[in-house]
A and B are shown apart, each in its own frame.
Chain A
Amino acid sequence: MTIECEKITTPYSNNLNRPILNNISCKIEQGEFVSLLGLNGAGKSTLLRSIVGLVPLEKGVIKVNGIAQNQKQKHRPDIAMLFQGGGLIRQLSAIENVLCGRLGSLSAWQTLWGFPKRDRRLALELLDRLGLKEHAYQKTAYLSGGQQQRVAIARALIQNPRILLADEPITGLDILAAKQVMETLAELHAQQGMTIVVVLHDLALAAAYAQRAIVLEAGRIIYDGKCHNLPEILQAG
């Protein structure tokens, strides 16, 4: 399962006096662990969002497994996304948020009176694996930032994806929680061969976990390659 971005350009933004993404081409193979780097406003989130169809494109195409995607179609079954800030529904309990990941595989009738037992068990298992068993029935708003991030990860995992796009999954977490989340991602990568694309702001972490780095600046890719000596590359760029 590969993701190919071919010369993608978003519509012109009047605030920026340029398109947010400007002629981006890259290819991510199945099983890669890629870190996406760049300053605030570089377009990292926009790139990930365009891969799941949340951003209309002016030019270019995104291919998943060689098949060109229609940007109107927002559901790509093998791709799960962790949103910057989680994108959870804060009024629902942790387990309900996780179950929302199953909505794509169930019809509206099947979920009208709640989720099937099998799915509930699966969600509970996932939360247990992420160390959140005792918080499963708590309202998400009452969980800490790190716990919420893990709920979001569980919601992504219940979709059984082959590609995980994570937008700043560790921003705002303490060192321990950040390490936990990164370890979880590394585990998924190692054990299931899941493709991981993660937006980070920490070069050391990027070097420690990812094999490849893509650096964005003002909507363009300025570096795409190995992760070591990243600081020097960024200095030069």
Chain B
Amino acid sequence: MMANAITYQKFCKLVKTEVKAMTKTFKTLTFKHPLLFKLVKQLLIVLAVIAVYAWALQGLQVDLKLLKDSWPYIVDFITRLWPPDLSILDIAIVRLIETIQMSIWGTTIGAILSLPLAVVSARNLAPRWLQFCANFLQNVVRSIPSIVLGLLFVAATGLGAPAGTLALGIYTIGYLAKFYQEAIESVDPRSIESLQVCGASWLQIAQYGILPQVLPLGLGYTLYMFEYNIRAASVLGVVGAGGIGFELVNYIKGFEYNKATTMMLVLLVVVTAIDALSSKLRQRLEASYRFTHKNK
């Protein structure tokens, strides 16, 4: 045992001296040829990236022949979507309005719940242990797929829009809490310190120091989430949690592709319109944000 220990120590020493010598030669080499060192480093990075992609591709098990054979089916599916059947336009619009209503409430519920969670997750506000717990909670919420949330709330409140709205609310937390957290962490630390020195309490710092600084950015994120939730709501319909997706899936299941097309077109129009509107609004918010941060 003793002898073993000594040999082990000797071994360690040997390794250490060896490593030291190696790093030394490496250092002198790179010091003498900085360009060569840079080249080798870049080459290694490129190789690593290629390796990652190759690894990911073999996981997919792409069958080129199958891909080729399935091509006609895809074409067939797409051609049968056309032309849209406009006779169900009224149903589509009713469903769409429901989807927007779900998104409004879902986003709002999510935003309200995200705010405190973001505050206790932020590096510059919360104690370390609270930060850890809150971030873990965020990860848990984020790793539940929206479909699962939809199923969960359908089981709880039955089929329909309320289930979808609640599911969206929870789903929103996963993203908005992180966005808000990052906005909070990017505030000017000196302005927070100055409030600490004034003797402000934790709550006062949040209200007077952090909130005004994160509000423009936070509103922009919330707007983006609202837009995103309209799309997410159409997926939730698949499990019967209200919104446009319910009808959409029913039409596809019943081979009424032309009606499904109408649904998708209406969705496209609305998503485009809301995107245009909200990106305008976000631009204005960001402009005010940038102005107030420019002289830092």
Within the complex, which residue of A52, A76, A111 is in contact with B208, where a contact is CB–CB below 8 Å?
A111
B193 within 8 A of A: yes
A105 within 8 A of B: yes
> Is the CB–CB distance between A139 and B194 below 8 Å?
no
> Is the CB–CB distance between A89 and B209 below 8 Å?
yes
| A87-B190, A88-B194 known; A104-B199 Cβ under 8 A | yes
Chain A residue numbers with a CB within 8 Å of B216 are 91
Cα–Cα distance between A91 and B198 once the two chains are bound (Å): 18
| A89-B208, A91-B292, A141-B291 known; A100-B200 Cβ under 8 A | yes
B283 within 8 A of A: no
| A111-B207, A141-B292 known; A104-B190 Cβ under 8 A | no
Within the complex, which residue of A81, A96, A107 is in contact with B197, where a contact is CB–CB below 8 Å?
A81
Chain A residue numbers with a CB within 8 Å of B212 are 89, 91-92
> Is the CB–CB distance between B198 and A159 below 8 Å?
yes
> Is the CB–CB distance between B207 and A91 below 8 Å?
no
- B166-198: CB near A (< 8 Å → 1, else 0) gives 000000000000000000000010110111111
Chain B residue numbers with a CB within 8 Å of A111 are 204, 207-208
Mostly, the B contact residues are helix
Please count how many residues in chain B sit with their CB below 8 Å of the partner chain's CB atoms: 25
Cα–Cα distance between A130 and B121 once the two chains are bound (Å): 40
Closest-by-CB residue of A relative to B293 is: A90
- B79-109: CB near A (< 8 Å → 1, else 0) gives 0000000000000000000000000000000
B215 within 8 A of A: yes
Closest-by-CB residue of A relative to B215 is: A91
Chain A residue numbers with a CB within 8 Å of B204 are 103, 108, 111
> Is the CB–CB distance between A139 and B292 below 8 Å?
yes
> Is the CB–CB distance between A90 and B199 below 8 Å?
no
A83 within 8 A of B: yes
Cα–Cα distance between A210 and B208 once the two chains are bound (Å): 35
B61 within 8 A of A: no
- A91-115: CB near B (< 8 Å → 1, else 0) gives 1100010001111110110011000
Query: Closest approach, in angstroms, between the C-beta of A147 and any C-beta of chain B?
Result: 13
Cα–Cα distance between A53 and B215 once the two chains are bound (Å): 29
| A91-B213, A92-B212, A108-B204 known; A100-B198 Cβ under 8 A | yes
Q: Which 10 A-B pairs have the closest CB atoms?
A: A104-B199, A87-B194, A75-B199, A103-B200, A91-B212, A141-B292, A108-B203, A74-B196, A90-B292, A87-B190
Q: List residues of B whose CB falls within 8 A of some A CB.
A: 188, 190-191, 193-201, 203-204, 207-209, 212-213, 215-216, 291-293, 295
Q: List residues of A whose CB falls within 8 A of some B CB.
A: 49, 52-54, 74-77, 80-81, 83-85, 87-92, 96, 100-105, 107-108, 111-112, 139, 141, 145, 155, 159
Beyond A91-B216, A108-B203, 5 additional pairs, beta carbon < 8 A: A83-B190, A89-B209, A91-B292, A96-B208, A103-B198
